[in-house]
Amino acid sequence: MLTTESSDTMKQQGRAAGATGWLVKPFDPQKLIEVVKKVIG
């Protein structure tokens, strides 16, 4: 999930909807790569 939301409530809702990664904008491109590798690896 790439979002502007950072609250725990929103993260819980994201997980409930099936999100397996959570990045808040603005994001570090290297962090995005790390999260993608974690999700697909």
Query: Does the predicted TM-score (pTM) go above 0.75?
Result: no
Tens of pLDDT, residue by residue over 1-41, are 889 999 999 999 999 999 988 899 999 999 999 988 988 88
How many structural domains compose the chain?
A: 1
Q: How many helices (H) and strands (E) in the chain?
A: 2, 2
Give 1's contacts (C-beta < 8 A, 6+ positions apart): 14, 19, 21, 22, 23
Domain extent at residue 9:
2-40
pLDDT at 28: 92
Say whether 35 sits in a helix, a strand or coil.
helix
